Amino acid sequence: MLGARHFGAPTDAIMNKNIARRQFLNFLAASPLVAALGSRDTNAAADLTSLPDYLVKTPHNALDVFDMHAVAKNVLPTSHYGYLATGTDGNETLAANRKAFEKIYLRAMRMVDTKNVDMSTRLLGIDMPSPIVLAPVGSQNAFHATGEIGTAKGARRHDTLQLLSNVTTHSIEDVIAARGAPVGFQLYPTSNWSVAQKMIKRAEKAGAKVLILTVDLNSGSNRVLMGQYARADERDCSACHGGGPDDWLKSKPMYEGTAATSAEFDNAAMTWEFVERLKKTTTMKVVVKGIVRTIFPEKIFSPLPVKIFQGFHDLPWQIWHT
């Protein structure tokens, strides 16, 4: 999501500050004063020096994706970073995701010819060179001036399926043009059926073949960390975001011409009947995203034939309706 422009963005001031901080920490670690503080503090200093502050200058320098996290924290406006970094409530799901990933290993294949590994697969009727897809992420201009268009160009380069958020900065038509292939369209439908209907027709006309219904915002979302970052941001945000949620919605191209209101975003009454209705309305394949695993999928009432894929242990189930 972060392109070259952002990786070049750390200013001299930031870099100088980091160098000065690093020098100070090295000085502290070498100081006899630290030894005199006792073992607990000596260990703390050792931790700090073993993980030096470092900001990669180009994406190619990144050792792993978390190198980009450090850059994002340094270059993004405070509240935009908060939007990027937050989970919901007390970040429990975010923490559970990380924990679950720690249990996933790459199984090394020794003494097997792995020179040419074929990772291609067919998912949702789409042939792809690897099973990696880009998850829907809203408002990408908050992170980079090219927003979803830049992401589309990256996805095009690697022939990756891009799942486009409903609350993008750029329209699905422009993104598909930049991607040079259909994207998947993610839907936050609102409680007004005609809003959903208009967006579905528009996505189909633009060429989308997959519809992702996100249901984890149906009763709102409590984003504590995001709120903490937002209140720490002293800029006047109204210049870009307007005066309230309806202005925010008006700035989103996919809701253009739908007459959607922010009050309709609360969709707590949605049930599987809505999925049935979607299915009758669209020719796109339907994926339900955001079913949190508080009930076992076998017990979910669904009148529809569904394929159920478990992501990872302890991660939310994804229901793929084909």
Ligand X SMILES: Cc1cc2nc3c(=O)[nH]c(=O)nc-3n(C[C@H](O)[C@H](O)[C@H](O)COP(=O)(O)O)c2cc1C
- Residues engaged in binding ligand X (CB under 6 A): 83-84, 97, 135-138, 165, 167, 186, 214, 289
Q: Which is nearer to ligand X, 132 or 304 (CB)?
A: 132
Q: Which of 320, 172, 314, 174 is nearest to 255 (CA)?
A: 172
- Min. distance of Cβ 175 from ligand X in angstroms? 13
- Min. distance of Cβ 301 from ligand X in angstroms? 23
- Min. distance of Cβ 12 from ligand X in angstroms? 28
If 0-12 CB within 10 Å is exposed, 13-18 middle and 19+ buried, where does residue 162 land? buried
Q: Which is nearer to ligand X, 91 or 97 (CB)?
A: 97
CB atoms within 10 A of CB 232: 10
- Min. distance of Cβ 168 from ligand X in angstroms? 8
Q: Which of 72, 26, 66, 31 is nearest to 49 (CA)?
A: 26
DSSP 121-178: EEETTEEESSS-EEPP-S-GGGT-TTHHHHHHHHHHHHT-EEEEPTT-SS-HHHHHHH
| Contacts of residue 191, Cβ cutoff 8 Å, sequence gap at least 6 | 264, 265, 266, 267, 269, 270
Q: Which is nearer to ligand X, 79 or 186 (CB)?
A: 186
CA–CA dist 46, 43 (Å, integer): 5
Q: Which is nearer to ligand X, 55 or 142 (CB)?
A: 142
CB 142 within 8 A of CB 83: yes
Q: Which is nearer to ligand X, 138 or 297 (CB)?
A: 138
CA atoms within 13 A on the CB side of 18: 15
- Min. distance of Cβ 268 from ligand X in angstroms? 17
Q: Which is nearer to ligand X, 45 or 190 (CB)?
A: 190
